[in-house]
Structure 1
Amino acid sequence: MSIIYPVTHFSLILIEWVLIGWAIRMWQQSTSLAMIVLPIVLVSISYDNIILSIGSLIGEGELLKTLSMLRFLLHYLVVPLFIVIGVELAHRAGANWANTVVRILSWVIALGLTAIDIITRYTGLQLVPIEFAGILRYHVANLSGPPIITIVVNLFVVLIGIGIWFSLKWPWLFVGTLVSLIGNAMPSYAVGTLAGSCSELVMAISLLLTEERTQFFLVTQGETNFLSSD
């Protein structure tokens, strides 16, 4: 039982590396800004899972604590970028609301949420060791309540998913983000780290599938316009 969580986290790393390659391939096909930002997020999520999977091997001490400080910093920096990725996908899908102003605003909101997390949570961060289901990790001391910023990000992307659903008749970004929202709302002290890690993976996959759907939609639309012009 104690190896299930570490092995699963390691499996998530392998999946995330595959997703990074997938995102880069789709960026080469479309030069989509979303597919530039998503690999950055996936690298951070992958690092998160690496530290969680090998924490017990490293053992309690300054090394694991330092690596964990970096884990929290990367998480605070990149998770709000899911909003930017979602808006960029909506823009590519032809959603009228995803105009230049909204695209710029998505960066403002993402950077604002990052700043809030850095100022309120990372500055003066105190970590304490905790062990759950074979995972040794450093946890924020005196942490209470769900990860508010992460949930806010999920809610933004849920709304974006609804917009893309109407634009492309594609519900899967909404569904994937809703699943992610539920997973992130689960308390880690009760269910451990897998719920949150799997939630981020599900959202990343739904974003990649949406980009693939968008590329198919754009190619099909282009072919239709070409045939109409003939």
Structure 2
Amino acid sequence: MAAFLYPIYTLVSLVLSIWAISLFQQGHKVSTIMLIFVLAGMTYDNLIVSVGSLITEGGLLKLLNRFRFIFHNLFVPLLVVNAFKQACDAGVTWANHPIVAKGCWTLTIGIITLGLLNEIRQQELIPVNIAGTLRYRPQIYGVPILTILTAILVAVAGFCIWQEIQCPWMFVGTVVMLCCNALPKNTFGVVVSSASDFLFMLGLLATELILY
């Protein structure tokens, strides 16, 4: 089933990327640029998973999968900046403080740095077949603490935006994504968690659209 769904996921993430680019052309906002980077990484991720079985196991597929993790560590923390910028646009009081702005950028750079350092120390990637797809993953796959931290910060900003302008989509999308990714993969597989990532990004894009 996943072998059928991931090409669809690739197409959907590409459509969302085009939507984000069209939004950026309207207002040239920093928050939209952050979304474009994240969606570009998501599109690449789904594409590589989609074509893994066609490329077959080997050095090329391992390298392409290595970039999946690099892009994840490089781009996903940018959502902290996106959430902060959206909170500013929504008129959230604390988000407009200069110290918060500097802290937001510092935290984002810190998360990116830690993620990339962890990737450098990463153990050898091993091939795995999951629901008809071939991909590489770390031999020991730990809890993605930095990703969870990023999502929590986005959820906090989303909740504040909801209270300020009655727009719940960022908060709801983040909570749904966190809950779905917490489900045991052995029971629910990776398809559910991947689908929830799109609901998460859709919530961010919907919020961005409302704030334009």
Tell me if the contact between 2:122 and 2:138 (Cα under 8 Å) persists in the aligned partners: no
Moved over 2 A (4+): 120-125, 183-200
- Name the stretch that deviates more: 61-70 or 117-126: 117-126
User: Match for residue 134 of structure 1?
Assistant: 132
- The aligned amino acid for 1:174 is F
| Aligned pairs (5 A) from 1:126-205 | 126-144=124-142, 146-188=143-185, 190-205=187-202
The separation in 2 between residues aligned to 1:151 and 1:86, in whole angstroms, is 15
1:13 and 2:13 correspond: no
Contact 1:147 1:184 in 2 (8 A): no
Q: Is the 1:72–1:122 contact (alpha carbons within 8 Å) kept by the matching residues of 2? A: no
Q: Which runs of 5+ in 1 are unaligned?
A: 216-230
Consecutive unaligned residues of structure 2, counting only runs of 5 or more, are: none
Aligned residue type for 1:170: C
Instruction: Give the structure 2 partner of residue 218 of structure 1.
Output: none
1:95 is paired with a residue whose SS is coil
TM-score (norm 2): 0.93
Q: Which amino acid is the alignment partner of residue 111 of structure 2?
A: L
Contact conserved, 1:150 with 1:184, CA < 8 A, in 2? no
Q: Distance in 2 between matches of 1:102 and 1:21?
A: 30
Fraction of identical pairs, as percent: 36
Amino acid at match of 2:139: A
Residues 169 and 207 of structure 2 are in contact (CA less than 8 Å); yes or no, is this contact kept in structure 1? Answer: yes
Contact 2:84 2:95 in 1 (8 A): yes
Q: CA deviation at 1:123?
A: 2.5
Q: In the TM superposition, what is the alpha-carbon distance from 1:26 to its structure 2 partner?
A: 1.5
Cα separation, 2, equivalents of 1:191 and 1:125:
26
| 1:137 alignment partner, SS class | strand
Shift of 1:211: 1.1
RMSD (Å), alpha carbons: 1.6
Work out whether 1:39 is the aligned partner of 2:51.
no
Query: In structure 2, which of residues 63, 67, 91 is the aligned counterpart of residue 66 of structure 1?
Result: 63
- Tell me the TM-score normalised to structure 1 length: 0.86
Q: In structure 2, what is the Cα distance between the partners aligned to 1:190 and 1:140?
A: 20
Cα drift, residue 189 of structure 1: 5.2
SS of 1:170's equivalent? Answer: coil
Larger radius of gyration: 1
